[in-house]
Amino acid sequence: MHAPTGLHRLGVVDDRRIGSICLLLFISLCACQTSGVEQAYPSRPLSFIVPWEMGTGGDVASRVLASALEKELDQPVNVVNQAGVNGVIGHAALVRSEADGYTLGALTEDIAMMHWTGLTRINFDSYSSIALIAVNPPVVTVRHDAPWETIHDLITGLRASSETLTASGSRIGGLWDLNRIGLLEVAGLDASVISWKPSQGSAPALQYLLADSVDIVISSLSAVDSLRRAGLVRILATMSGERLPSAPDIPTLKESGFDYESLGSWFALAAPKNLPDARLEFLRVAVWNISRRPEFRRSIQRTGFQLRHITGSTLRAFLYEEDLQNGLLLDKAGLSLE
């Protein structure tokens, strides 16, 4: 009477063990498959949203990065230009994309200005920031026959005279206009001593300069360097914190006694907010590998930008400082709506 019961119990125990083993094997298989998905990333082409027009300096530099990413990730990286509304269109397109690591974008200096002027609520905190890639610091340029040999001469002349000068380089409230305000503020001068003539970028501003309709242009070095080499203009200073590798003869503002610094135009690689940590770290390592290659550095420099790699908390601090500084300058210009 007892034997069947014992055998029955043994059979039940064996069935449970078999079921448990099957369950464990199933869980292990799922885990391996999930791990395989992560290890396989990226397994298909990526899109790279660029908020600049095709052919501009920022677009060319972004394409250099896209090409390097293709080699590093072994997947096509398709550049998609979405320019317009002072950078809002491209930046907003990245925010709306799926946070799966297959849509990346160039985060530019516009992200530190557009929300202050009421164009959008998007700011640097709307993204998963991967790494700063490159910067393009501003320079102060005058005609070759201008009476100022140095930036100190220019500021001294403004202090001693009631004459108002005119500068150009961007739209009113654009990056180069804010640099004008920042320089004059540290020099102890009112922004009105140099009025701003708006332009659609550096090229028309330099035409104004050569035609003697403005006295000063603030722009990137790459925009003005060919005119400098031709002897048509003189660069008084760079606003970079250190001398530019491509033009080491140009002094910085700080060397001349003016404690103002700007990295000018810049771009970082970013993804939509809430990108999974594993993919965020994967992309950060990929960019770090790319940034160490001399050929990538040379290719970036040929676009007029300078390689500047920072990531993590350092990048977040940089974005915060850029946002804060531009907000203060826009407020001083009467253009901030926040």
pLDDT of residue 37: 43
H helix or E strand, kind and range, residue 197: strand 194-197
Query: Count of CB atoms within 10 A of residue 205's CB?
Result: 26
Query: What residue spans of the chain are helical by DSSP H?
Result: 2-40, 57-73, 88-96, 151-160, 175-186, 202-210, 221-229, 277-291, 294-302, 312-332
Q: Return the domain boundaries, the chain.
A: 46-136+264-332, 138-238
138-238 CATH fold: D-Maltodextrin-Binding Protein; domain 2 (3.40.190)
Which DSSP category does 244 fall into?
Answer: B
pLDDT of residue 39: 60
| For the chain, counts of helices (H) and of strands (E) | 10, 11
How remote is the C-alpha of 265 from its chain's centroid? 7
The overall longest dimension of the chain from CA atoms, in Å, is: 118
Distance CA 314, CA 131 (A): 10
Which DSSP category does 164 fall into?
Answer: P
pLDDT of residue 336: 84
pLDDT of residue 338: 74
pLDDT of residue 98: 98
pLDDT of residue 90: 97
Contact 64, 303 (CB under 8 A): yes
Place of tokens 């004459």: 163
Given the candidates 3.40.190.150, 3.40.50.1370, 3.40.50.300, 2.40.50.140, the CATH classification of the domain at 46-136+264-332 is 3.40.190.150
Instruction: Note down pLDDT in tens along the chain; length 338 residues.
Output: 444 444 333 343 444 444 444 444 444 444 444 344 456 999 999 999 999 999 888 999 999 999 999 999 999 999 999 999 999 999 999 999 999 999 999 999 999 999 999 999 999 999 999 999 999 999 999 999 999 999 999 999 999 988 899 999 999 999 999 999 999 999 999 999 999 999 998 999 999 999 999 999 999 998 999 999 999 999 999 999 999 988 999 999 999 999 999 999 999 999 999 999 999 999 999 999 999 999 999 999 999 899 999 999 999 999 999 999 999 999 998 988 77
Same fold, 46-136+264-332 and 138-238: yes
Question: How is residue 260 written in tokens?
Answer: 């103002």
pTM for the full model? 0.84
